[in-house]
Amino acid sequence: MKEQIAKTTNNEVYNEAVKNSYFKILKKAKLLLSTIENDELRYTLERQDKNKSVVGTIVHELISPVLYLRLEHHSDNIMAIHFGIEQVNELGLLSSITTSFLRVLYKLTSKEITGVDIECCVRTDWFINSCSAAYEYIKERNKYHELKQLKYKVSSTRRKTILHVA
């Protein structure tokens, strides 16, 4: 009985840390996407389920042509983060965004940042390397996602370049 209570408490602490990290990652991901000048690439499909505590459900999901992020409540009563990045073949802004996203993902789920060992919550059992195809697929068959466009924000490096030229 005590083991069951301890396991439940451990799962609650773990899940809360995963959830907190996920929403920090989501905020950073949206910030990264907002620096894209191309309007079409700033559109996102976002899903937030109301029954967040139901085991075996998607808690939140963000799909864009460049990044994919999902918080899931698995059937073993632990939360996990699934992710994806668009495969980018040349250096530039999109490559910078995808690499920055990966750094943020792993940094914000590290034990040094969270204080709880949740590093295994980042799942790679299925990985999306064509976010644009997933975005188009979901957009055409949309039942659960809300289409949103992020406002464009000039990135700090681009702002410095513009000020330097002026």
Alpha carbons within 13 A on the beta-carbon side of 79: 26
Taking the CB of residue 104, how many other CB atoms lie within 10 A of it?
A: 17
34 confidence band (pLDDT: 50, 70, 90)? very high
Residue with structure tokens 């899903």?
Answer: 47
Mean pLDDT of the chain: 89
Q: How is 117-135 classified by DSSP, letter by letter? A: --GGGEEEEEEES-HHHHH
pLDDT at residue 159 tops 70 = no
With a cut of 70, say whether residue 15 has pLDDT above it: yes
**Would you place residue 113 in the very low, low, confident or very high pLDDT band (cuts 50, 70, 90)?**
very high
Tell me the two tokens of residue 33.
């996407």
| Mean pLDDT within 47-71 | 88
Amino acid identity of 159?
A: R
Cα–Cα distance measured from residue 23 to residue 158, given in angstroms and rounded to the nearest whole number:
26
Mean of the pLDDT values across residues 48-70?
Answer: 87
Count, in order, helices (H) and strands (E) of the chain.
Answer: 5, 6
Lowest mean pLDDT among 6-10, 19-23, 59-63, 107-111: 6-10
pLDDT of residue 99: 96
Averaged pLDDT for residues 1-13: 65
Confidence band for 1, pLDDT divided at 50, 70 and 90 = very low
Looking at the predicted structure, is the pLDDT value of residue 86 above 80?
Answer: yes
**DSSP-assigned letter for residue 40:** G
Q: What is the mean pLDDT of residues 121-145?
A: 94
The sign of the torsion formed by the CA atoms of 159, 161, 164, 166 equals: negative
